[in-house]
Structure 1
């Protein structure tokens, strides 16, 4: 990470690649849930969100640590629309419309299962109509009067798994970084993990664009230094993406402005970046009112990282 500059003009209300073979073991669960392995080899888990007290599986004994830790979030491509030196903030919504989304993340060491404090966590994603800030001219989101049969759980046509040239992409050949085309920075931000390895972001439920399922990008930077100017130095130990189950996406598609999208949607099972492995592949644990998703969604997951590794994943 070349450096993240602190945003001094925040609004007043701002408060596939297959699995990387170098990844090791982490606790199985979303949002920092405790996992214990009993004598019979069964798992017991209890969830805990960011800001709450969470109990991490004990790894004090080197002989038993490997038994209590498992693989979790996979490394994936960065995609073309990452912007370094992003804004230091937890509320990345700005004035974008959409279903409120609270994203609760936990970062742990993939070998010891201990929380990693003071890591810099980036997230960025498109808006409700598939547009990325910084790249509005080259994004391929769509709005307007939706066709009568869209969106649906089974999009018409056969998705290629890769957007056309210039479109947002995470797939092979489409993940090469592009320079920003504008100064917008909505739905992007960086924040520091607390002593429990937890960090919370406030944003909106992402929309979709052709060739990709609904997702959020993330990076984790460690071994750097927090200064008055932001975060400097260190290494990027994790680059990944978070995904949303089909039930939640279909529910969101009934709510404006998502319902005005005319863009063909790629489902979770059709996506070429998500590896279909559930939480291991970055699938978020979601909580929301099934009848009123517009009131807001809480998403959570634990990211196991190797703090000594470098996983920029800019050309996968």
Structure 2
């Protein structure tokens, strides 16, 4: 499957110290833990403000169209939920794949303090790289909004995403000030992506036949060549890589801290930085 995609914007980049050597980073991607493998104290990797990334062509947040119709899952009843595997609203298909239980911690990058009562919208592909509401228009699974608790934590149950040709395995997300702004499509505080670690991705794809193209596609991509993550600093990529425990056959548990720079200038067009693609059909380029 070849996806269309948007070029990602490089704005709002931070002049961050190179906290992790490239050799250490390569070791990191072969493991499952960001902090443990770098040798840095946890605090050094918990407050690196994440850079803005493209929302890609499949956000279903009202910013683009499919077949001439605006696609917006955020306005549909049931979008605020914990289990992302079933479709919601009037749709019924359920996504299959290795169970992945996510714990995302939203923090203010200034001081690493929890962002309570904030909303995060996440979406990702299925086992073979297809996105609901676009590649699979009769389903809206693997999408949903969660609200952070007093510690800034949001929990979802989903499946481990597949790997499609041209992209490192990833999960998209948008952070909003509150649930009301999320469901109204108000400007996000951050639009970015979570990277998945290499070894557990390879093990999942090898162990489960539902990820039929995962092994071959993963073998053709690296963080260094990925069109989104390649421009991030080593510290940023370490920060945005999911730490995963569990068996490749599932269930898996993934955790990541998402520091948000609340002072970063953002556009008023769907929360995307200047230079990000406008509303409309995505241009014909390889997928992201």
Give the TM-score normalised by structure 1: 0.60
Q: 2:80 aligns with which of 79, 88, 113?
A: 88
1:197-208 → structure 2 map (5 Å cutoff): 197-208=152-163
Q: CA deviation at 1:21?
A: 2.8
Is 1:287 the equivalent of 2:245?
A: yes
Rounded to whole Å, the distance in 2 between the matches of 1:69 and 1:216 is 19
1:183-262 → structure 2 map (5 Å cutoff): 183-222=138-177, 225=180, 231-232=183-184, 234-261=186-213
1:127-142 → structure 2 map (5 Å cutoff): 127-136=126-135
Secondary structure class of the residue paired with 2:201: helix
Contact 1:101 1:203 in 2 (8 A): yes
Is 1:267 the equivalent of 2:221?
A: yes
1:35-50 → structure 2 map (5 Å cutoff): 44-45=41-42
Residues 92 and 233 of structure 1: is their aligned pair in 2 closer, same or farther, counting only changes over 3 Å? Answer: closer
Q: CA deviation at 1:98?
A: 0.8
Greater Rg over alpha carbons, structure: 1
Please report the RMSD computed on the Cα atoms of aligned residues, expressed in angstroms: 3.3
Give the TM-score normalised by structure 2: 0.65
Instruction: Give ranges in structure 1 of 5+ residues lacking alignment.
Output: 1-15, 34-41, 46-56, 58-66, 138-181
Secondary structure class of the residue paired with 2:83: coil
Q: 2:53 aligns with which of 66, 72, 76?
A: 76
Q: More helix by proportion, 1 or 2?
A: 2
The residue aligned with 1:20 is 12
The residue aligned with 1:163 is none
1:134-213 → structure 2 map (5 Å cutoff): 134-136=133-135, 182-213=137-168
Query: Number of residues paired by the alignment?
Result: 219
Secondary structure class of the residue paired with 2:199: helix
Q: Deviations over 1:92-114 (max 9, x none)?
A: 01121111101111111111321
